[in-house]
């Protein structure tokens, strides 16, 4: 790779040992990718140095030290010794983790694990890393500008960043984001480059795509159809909004590996079909009509058999304030059926707003729980004894049944809340 003077200085150890190791790692990474240079980044979303109790104990056992700097050095930066880790050299935010800071016992976490969670968070904050603790950093204060080079983990956030905001990131890993946090550098490769952002496949939508459910199903269909390619979507989509994009992108990134999409006339790099595609012709043109819509709904509900629901999980990706308001409205003055649980996941930032607006109270008064920082898939936690789950997220429906060994129903938020109130699944495709 061709290095600038400041990159060479970091590699030579001018910024200290941890920065040097981070630069070494990034050079190895860039060379493996075939990148010729780095781009500067001042927007990193990762989990730098953060650990679970399991990871801490593993390093205590195998390296004699499971502290924050040990994990950052040995695990994140692949160093062979423990180094002093300086403050972040970039704007960096911490993504979701595995534990709610208040309802950790509900998630089945131990007091010891909670104690470690608090110590870990204090170390992260001391390095100047923002404690957003969410998969939706763009709803909690980290909104990059169009064209900004970022280094983000979390597939649902990456696809939103590239497609809806028009900022630029690959789906980074823990190592590269932790190294970027210290150096402000990331290889100039993939979605950082214009030629890698153009559409490859055309999706023609022939059936109205209106609700959040519909947007999620279309995203889920497209992920299967294009896998890791870049779809360009035309046709009968309703007015887009933040929630629709959030569910669409998360679904497409789950059933496939979609990291970027274009919707002609909607997303920032797709004013026209020609602009979205560039000089290439689509590798395939794929229709999405009533039959495909029906088939994808059935596929998402293929692991639901028993109509008796004992757990409703909402908030994948983490709920926005508008979704919190909708849940509160649907639950106002009602009670969740005895034996059924409702957990709603969001960011601390959105929960703060929901608290002030009375939404959290309305949800709690009905018997639901509002949790932050995590979700059932990430924490691998469902209420004890859960056999059948109801979900309004195609992404969570994709992952949770296998992870938690449960049946799952997929439907609208309203279907899910009805299931929480009655203990029965009555959703159907309208």
Distances (CA, A) of 241 to 61, 68, 215, 244: 49, 39, 10, 5
Query: Would you call 422 exposed, middle or buried from its count of C-beta atoms within 10 A (0-12, 13-18, 19+)?
Result: middle
Quick one: 375 or 404, whose CB is closer to ligand F3S? 375
CA gyration radius for the chain?
A: 22
- Binding track, positions 25-64, relative to ligand F3S; x by CB under 6 A: ----------------------------------------
Quick one: 277 or 391, whose CB is closer to ligand F3S? 391
Q: Quick check: 156 binds ligand F3S (CB under 6 A)? A: yes
Among 316, 328, 336, 419, binds ligand F3S (CB under 6 A): 316
Q: Quick check: 377 binds ligand F3S (CB under 6 A)? A: yes
* Helix, strand, coil content of the chain in percent (nearest 5): 45, 15, 40
Place of tokens 């210290």: 182
Q: Answer whether 180's CB lies under 8 Å from 41's CB.
A: yes
β-pairing verdict for 231-237 and 311-319 = unpaired
C-alpha to C-alpha distance for 222 and 201, rounded to whole angstroms: 10
C-alpha to C-alpha distance for 34 and 192, rounded to whole angstroms: 13
CB of 404 to ligand F3S, least distance (A): 12
Q: What is the DSSP letter of 289?
A: -
Q: Quick check: 88 binds ligand F3S (CB under 6 A)? A: no
Q: Quick check: 320 binds ligand F3S (CB under 6 A)? A: no
Q: Quick check: 270 binds ligand F3S (CB under 6 A)? A: no
Among 396, 397, 413, 418, binds ligand F3S (CB under 6 A): 396
Say how many CA atoms lie within 13 Å of 219 toward its Cβ: 33
CB of 139 to ligand F3S, least distance (A): 11
Q: Quick check: 317 binds ligand F3S (CB under 6 A)? A: yes
Q: Which stretch binds ligand F3S (CB under 6 A): 22-30, 142-150, 303-311, 314-322?
A: 314-322
Q: Quick check: 216 binds ligand F3S (CB under 6 A)? A: no
β-pairing verdict for 185-187 and 38-40 = antiparallel
Q: Quick check: 318 binds ligand F3S (CB under 6 A)? A: yes
Place of tokens 């979303």: 45
CB of 300 to ligand F3S, least distance (A): 15
To 5 degrees, how large is the angle CA 313–CA 318–CA 319? 80
Q: Quick one: which of 111, 123, 108 has its CA closest to 71?
A: 123
- Binding track, positions 274-313, relative to ligand F3S; x by CB under 6 A: ----------------------------------------
Q: Which residues contact 11 (CB under 8 A, 6 or more apart)?
A: 3, 20, 23, 24, 27
Q: Quick check: 164 binds ligand F3S (CB under 6 A)? A: no
C-alpha to C-alpha distance for 99 and 59, rounded to whole angstroms: 20
β-pairing verdict for 369-372 and 341-346 = parallel
CB of 371 to ligand F3S, least distance (A): 10
- Binding track, positions 115-154, relative to ligand F3S; x by CB under 6 A: --------------------x-------------------
Q: Quick check: 319 binds ligand F3S (CB under 6 A)? A: no
Q: Quick check: 250 binds ligand F3S (CB under 6 A)? A: yes
CB of 68 to ligand F3S, least distance (A): 22
Residues near ligand F3S (CB under 6 A) are: 96, 135, 156, 250, 315-318, 345, 375, 377-378, 395-396
């Amino acid at each position: 790779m061709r290095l600038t003077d400041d990159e060479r200085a970091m590699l030579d150890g001018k910024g200290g040992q941890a920065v040097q190791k981070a630069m070494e790692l990034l050079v190895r990474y860039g060379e493996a990718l075939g990148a010729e240079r780095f781009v500067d980044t001042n927007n990193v979303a990762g989990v730098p140095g953060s650990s679970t109790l399991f990871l801490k104990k593993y390093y205590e056992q195998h390296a004699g030290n499971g502290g924050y700097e040990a994990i950052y050095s040995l695990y994140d930066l692949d160093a062979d010794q423990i180094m002093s880790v300086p403050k972040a050299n970039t704007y960096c935010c911490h993504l979701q983790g595995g534990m709610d800071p208040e309802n950790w016992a509900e998630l089945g976490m131990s007091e010891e694990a909670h104690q470690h969670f608090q110590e870990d968070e204090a170390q992260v904050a001391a390095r100047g890393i923002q404690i957003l603790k969410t998969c939706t950093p763009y709803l909690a204060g980290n909104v990059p500008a169009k064209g900004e080079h970022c280094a983000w983990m979390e597939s649902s956030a990456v696809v939103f960043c590239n497609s809806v905001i028009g900022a630029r990131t690959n789906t980074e890993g823990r190592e590269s984001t932790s190294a970027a946090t210290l150096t402000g550098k990331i290889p100039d490769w993939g979605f950082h480059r214009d030629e890698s952002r153009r559409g490859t496949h055309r999706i023609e939508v022939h059936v109205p795509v209106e609700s959040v459910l519909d947007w999620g199903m279309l995203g889920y269909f497209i992920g299967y159809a294009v896998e890791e390619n870049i779809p360009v979507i035309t046709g009968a989509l309703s007015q887009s909004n933040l929630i629709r994009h959030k569910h669409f992108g998360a679904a497409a990134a789950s059933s496939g590996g979609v990291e970027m999409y274009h919707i002609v006339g909607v997303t920032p790099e797709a004013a026209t079909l020609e602009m979205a595609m560039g000089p290439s012709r689509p590798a395939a043109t794929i229709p999405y009509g009533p039959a495909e819509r029906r088939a994808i709904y059935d596929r998402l509900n293929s692991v639901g058999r028993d109509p008796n629901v004992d757990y409703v999980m909402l908030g994948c990706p983490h709920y926005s304030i508008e979704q919190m308001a909708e849940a509160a409205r649907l639950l106002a003055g009602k009670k969740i059926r005895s034996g059924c649980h409702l957990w709603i996941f969001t960011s601390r930032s959105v929960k703060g707003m929901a608290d002030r607006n009375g939404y959290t109270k309305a949800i709690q008064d009905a018997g639901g729980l509002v949790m932050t920082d995590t979700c059932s898939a990430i924490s691998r936690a469902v209420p004890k004894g859960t056999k059948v789950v109801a979900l309004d997220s195609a992404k969570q429906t994709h992952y949770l049944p296998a992870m938690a060994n449960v049946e799952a129903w997929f439907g609208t938020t309203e279907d899910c809340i009805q299931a929480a109130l009655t203990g029965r699944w009555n959703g159907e495709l309208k």
